[in-house]
Amino acid sequence: MRRFKAIIFDMDGVIIDSVALWKRAEKEVFTSVGVELSDELCEITESMTTLQVTNFWFERQPWTNKKLIDVENEVIERVGCLIEEEGTAIHGIEEIIHEIKCQGYKIGLATNSPSILIPVVLKKLQLETYFDAISSAEHEPEGKPNPSVYLTVARKLNVEPETCIVFEDSYSGLLAAKNAGMKTVAVLKDNYENVEYEIADMKIENYAQFDFSAINEVR
């Protein structure tokens, strides 16, 4: 009997190369309301939900000319436009998702990004037909590292969490998947030697390194 039944992907940085697009959008929008962003603090917000990011900057540098929800929505809208105009797939993602589908695994997507951006990304990358379940932490009590978004996807896929393998590129995402009882593969172009990522069950630098025979080695 097959040990693993489903493969679940994070979205930003795992399926689509969008981290820089998020940074651009946030800089444009938050600067427009008078916030001065620093690289050090932007590293902290990188894995947050858009609501958390908006609250983060408002608490430090409050603005009065716009509602928080309007600023958050401007960031989301700008990211959506940048994805449509400039978004590119993470190298090798199309091939590995196709192979996963051919191998008969269920495929899920669990992201901290707003749900409105999920179809934008999947359409841009022409991956709409591959995913059996998708979910955004926007609809959960908390975003990653809370495991709820991963547990929701497993429930939608009708599989037990322990039968899932998760592809992630952030520490908070890996922690969320581990807290959900899932096995993890860290996809790390950078920070490969960072001790934080030792919590992953397997580490790869790109999808070409992932041999499907290695699935049984994810322990």
Active site residues: 10, 12
Element spanning 203, H or E: strand 202-204
User: Residue 194's Cα: distance from chain center in Å?
Assistant: 19
The one-letter amino acid at 50 = T
In this structure, the strands spanning 6-9 and 106-111 are parallel
Contacts of residue 201, defined as CB under 8 A and 6 or more positions apart, other chains included, come to: 183, 184, 185, 218, 219
Structural contact between residues 43 and 196, judged by C-beta atoms closer than 8 angstroms: no
Is residue 55 within 8 Å of residue 63, measured between CB atoms?
A: no
Question: Is 76:118 a contact under the CB 8 Å cutoff?
Answer: no
